[in-house]
Amino acid sequence: MQPDDHVCLCFRVSLRKLQNHLERERPTVASQLSECLGAGTGCGWCVPFLRRLHAQHVAGTLPALDESPEDYAARRTQYRAGRRHGTYDRPSSDPMASDPDRSPAPSVRVPLTQLRRGQRAIVDCSNLADLPEGERCLLHAMGMHDDCQLRVCSPGAPCIVQIDDTRLGISAEVARRIMVTPIEDGDRRAP
Amino acid sequence: MSAGSDAARPTPRIAVLGNPNTGKTTLFNRLCGVRARTANFPGSTVEGRIGTHRSPAGHVELELVDLPGSYSLTIDVPEARVCRDCLQGSLDGIEPDAMLVVLDATNLRRNLQFAAQALAHRLPAVVALNMWDTARARPGCVDPAELSRRLGCPVVPVSGRTGEGLAALDVALDTVVDLPFGADALVARLQKLPPADATQAMLASWADQVTRAAAPMAAAPAPDPADSLVDRVDVALTHPFVGIAVFALTMAALFSAIFMVASVPMDLIDLVFGRAAELVRSAMPEGLLADLLADGIVAGIGGVVIFLPQICLLFFLLSLLEDSGYLARAAFAVDRVMRRFGLSGPSFVPLLSSHACALPGIMSTRLIRDDRERLATILVAPFMSCSARLPVYVLLIGILSVGKPAWFAGAAFVACYALGAVAGLLTALLARRTLLRGPARPLVMELPPYRVPALRNALLVTWDRALVFLRNAGTTILAISVVMWWLSAFPRAEGTDARMQQAGSFAGQLGEAAAPAFAPLGFDSQLTVGVLTSFLAREVFVSTMGVLAGAGSDADPADRTVLEQVAAMPRADGTPVFDPATAAAALVFFVLAMQCLPTLAVTRRETGSWKWPAIQFGWMTLVAYVAAMAAHAVVRAWGGGA
Q: Is residue A1 part of a domain?
A: no
What per-residue confidence (pLDDT) applies to B221? 54
Q: Per-residue confidence at B641, pLDDT binned at 50, 70, 90? A: very low
Distance CA B371, CA A59 (A): 57
- Position A37 in a domain: yes
Long-range contacts of B410-417 (CB under 8 A, 24+ apart): B412/B587, B416/B385, B416/B389, B416/B587, B416/B591, B417/B355, B417/B385
The whole-angstrom distance between A140's CA and the closest CA on chain B is: 6
B334-383 confidence digits (pLDDT tens): 887 888 888 887 788 788 778 767 887 888 787 677 788 889 999 999 99
Residue B111 pLDDT > 50, yes or no?
yes
Q: What is the pLDDT of residue A105?
A: 44
Q: Is residue B43 scored above 70 in pLDDT? A: no
Buried b (16+ CB within 10 A) or exposed e, B439-453: ebbbbbbbbbebeeb
User: What's the whole-number mean pLDDT along residues B200-222?
Assistant: 77
Nearest CA to B156 out of B135, B126, B193 is that of: B126
Rounded Cα distance between B331 and B442, Å, is 13
Indicate the residue among A102, A126, A154 that finishes a domain. A102
Instruction: Check residue B92 and give its pLDDT.
Output: 73
Q: Measured between alpha carbons, how far is B404 from B584 in angstroms, rounded to an integer?
A: 14
Question: B323-351: buried (b, 16+ CB within 10 Å) or exposed (e) per residue?
Answer: bbbbbbbbbbbbbbebbebbbbbbbbbbb
Q: Is A179 helix (H, G, I), strand (E, B) or coil?
A: strand
- What is each CA distance from B492 to B353, B392, B495, B504, B509, in whole angstroms? 41, 29, 9, 8, 13
Q: How confident is the model at residue B560 (pLDDT cuts 50, 70, 90)?
A: low
Asked if A11 and A98 sit in the same domain, the reply is yes
In this predicted structure, what is the pLDDT of residue A191?
A: 32
Among candidates A117, A158, A172 on the partner chain, residue whose Cβ is nearest the Cβ of B231:
A117
pLDDT reading at B597 higher than 70: yes
Q: Which residues of chain A have pLDDT under 50?
A: 86-87, 92-106, 186-191
Give the mean pLDDT of B166-186.
83
* pLDDT for position B536: 72
- Chain B hits for A151, Cβ within 8 Å: 227
Report which of residues A33 and B620 the model is more confident about.
B620
- DSSP per position, A31-99: GGGGGTTTTTSSSSTTHHHHHHHHHHHHTTSPP---S-HHHHHHHHHHHHHHHHTT-----TTSHHHH-
Residue pair B153/B189 in contact (Cβ under 8 Å)? The answer is yes
CB–CB contact A154 B231 (8 Å): yes
Residue of A nearest to B115 (CA): A141
**B86-114 burial, b for 16+ CB within 10 Å, e for fewer?**
bbeeebeebebbbbbbbbbbbbbbbbbbb
Cα B126 to Cα B141: distance, rounded to the nearest angstrom: 20
Same domain, A88 and A133: no
Specify the number of domains making up chain A: 2
- Dihedral of the CA atoms B12, B16, B17, B19 (nearest 10)? 170
Collect all residues of chain B within an 8 Å Cβ-Cβ radius of residue A113. none
Specify whether A79 is located in the same domain as A130.
Answer: no
Last residue of a domain, one of A102, A132, A157: A102
**Coil, helix or strand at residue A8:** strand
Which pLDDT score, from 0 to 100, does residue B424 have? 93
**A47 and A84 belong to one structural domain:** yes
Bridge partners of B8? none
d(CA B564, CA B550): 10
Q: Rounded to the nearest 5°, which phi and psi values hold at B447?
A: -105, 100
State whether A13 and A86 are in the same domain: yes
Specify whether the CB–CB gap between B325 and B451 falls below 8 A: yes
> Which DSSP state fits B405?
-
CA dist B551 and B549 (Å) reads 6
Q: Tens digits of per-residue pLDDT, B78-89?
A: 778 888 888 888
Evaluate if residue B169 carries a pLDDT over 80: yes
Instruction: For residues B177-202, give the mean pLDDT.
Output: 80
The answer on pLDDT for B390 being more than 90 is: no
A146: chain B residues, CB-CB within 8 Å:
201
Rounded Cα gap, residues A142 and B113, in angstroms: 10
Looking at beta carbons, which residues of chain A come within 8 Å of B106? 165
Q: Give chain B positions within 8 Å (CB) of A115.
A: none
Q: Which helix (H) or strand (E) holds B446?
A: strand B444-447
Contact B235, A154 (CB under 8 A): yes
pLDDT value for B428: 92
Question: pLDDT tens-digit profile of B26-35?
Answer: 899 888 877 7
The segment with the largest mean pLDDT, out of B8-17, B152-161, B523-532, is B152-161
Distance to chain A for B196, nearest Cα, Å: 16
Q: Do B445 and A168 touch (CB under 8 A)?
A: yes
pLDDT at residue B15 in the model: 92
Average pLDDT over residues B513-527: 84
Give me the mean pLDDT over the B30-44 stretch: 74
The pairing of beta strand B155-157 with beta strand B47-54: unpaired
Please tell me the predicted confidence (pLDDT) of residue B629.
Answer: 93
Question: Comparing C-alpha atoms, which of B218, B186, B184, B242 is closest to residue B105?
Answer: B218
Burial class (CB in 10 A: 0-12, 13-18, 19+), A88: middle
How far lies B188's CA from each of A19, A93, B165, B179, B184, in Å? 56, 64, 27, 15, 6
Q: Are residues A59 and A120 in the same domain?
A: no
Per CB-CB distance under 8 Å, the chain B contacts of A160 are: 231, 234-235, 238, 332, 447
Distances (CA, A) of B66 to A121, A131, B21, B60, B304: 37, 31, 13, 19, 29
Residue A142 sits in a domain whose CATH number is 2.30.30.90
Q: In terms of pLDDT, which residue wins out, B391 or B606?
A: B606
Q: Which residues of A touch B446 (CB under 8 A)?
A: 142, 166-169
Lowest mean pLDDT among B150-159, B494-503, B572-581, B587-596: B494-503
Strands A120-124 and A179-184: antiparallel
Residue B530 has pLDDT above 70, yes or no: yes
Contact assessment for residue B595 and residue B616, using Cβ atoms and an 8 Å cutoff: no
**Is A170 part of a structural domain of the chain?**
yes
Average pLDDT over residues B420-433: 91
Choose among A117, A118, A158: nearest Cβ to B336. Answer: A158
User: Residue A114 falls within a domain, yes or no?
Assistant: yes
**Could you tell me the CA-to-CA distances from B616 to A105, A190, B350, B604 in Å, in that order?**
55, 58, 16, 10
Candidates B68, B61, B15; CA nearest to B40 is B68
Please tell me the distance from the alpha carbon of residue B117 to that of residue A137, in angstroms, as a whole number: 14
Q: Does residue A23 lie within any of the structural domains?
A: yes
Q: Which residue has the higher pLDDT, B56 or B635?
A: B635
Using CB atoms, which residue from A118, A133, A165 is nearest to B231? A118
Mutation target vs B (from A127, A144, A165; most B CBs, 10 A cutoff): A165
- Let me know whether A92 and A33 are in one domain: yes
- For A73-77, B118-122, B404-408, which range has the lowest pLDDT when averaged over its residues? B404-408
Q: What is the chain A residue with the closest CA to B77?
A: A134
Query: Does residue A83 sit in the same domain as residue A131?
Result: no
pLDDT for B42 equals 64
Q: Phi-psi bin for B15: left (phi > 0), alpha (psi -120 to 50), beta?
A: beta
Domain boundary among A70, A102, A134: A102
A13 in any annotated domain: yes
Q: Which residues of B142-178 are buried (b: 16+ CB within 10 A; e: fewer)?
A: bbbeebbebbbbbbbbbbbbeeebbeebbbbbbebbb
A158/chain B closest Cα distance in angstroms: 9
Residue B382: predicted pLDDT: 93
In chain B, the residue whose alpha carbon lies closest to the alpha carbon of A117 is B231
Which of B72, B441, B446 minimises the CB distance to A137?
B72
**Candidate ranges A87-91, B452-456, B465-469; pick with highest mean pLDDT:** B452-456
Residue A175 lies in a domain: yes
Q: According to the 3-state scheme, what is the secondary structure of B328-346?
A: HHHHHHHHHHHHCCCCCHH
Residue A76 shares a structural domain with residue A150:
no
Residues 6+ apart with CB under 8 A from B191: B152
Average pLDDT, chain B: 81
Cα gap B158→B160, rounded to integer Å = 6
How confident is the model at residue A98, as a pLDDT? 41
Geometric angle at alpha carbon A100, from A97 and A101, rounded to 5°: 135
pTM for the whole structure:
0.70
Please answer whether residues B48 and B81 qualify as being in contact, where contact means their C-beta atoms are separated by less than 8 angstroms.
no
Domain that holds residue A12: 6-102
- Count of CB atoms situated within 10 Å of the CB of A43: 16
| Confidence check: pLDDT of B553 > 50 | no
Which of B42-51, B169-178, B277-286 is predicted least confidently? B42-51
Do A29 and A59 share a domain, yes or no?
yes
Check CB contact under 8 Å for B447 and A169: yes
Confidence at residue B37, expressed as pLDDT on a 0 to 100 scale: 77
Partners of B336 on chain A (C-beta within 8 Å) are 158, 171-172
Is the pLDDT at B521 greater than 80, yes or no?
Answer: yes
**Taking 90 as the threshold, does the pLDDT of residue B619 lie above it?**
yes
One domain, residues A37 and A95? yes
**What's the rounded mean pLDDT across residues B521-547?**
76
Q: Are B256 and B248 in contact (CB under 8 A)?
A: no
The pLDDT assigned to B228 comes to: 82
Average pLDDT over residues B124-128: 93
Domain presence at residue A147: yes
Could you say which of A164, A172, A187 has the minimum Cβ distance to residue B110? A164
Does one domain contain both A179 and A123?
Answer: yes
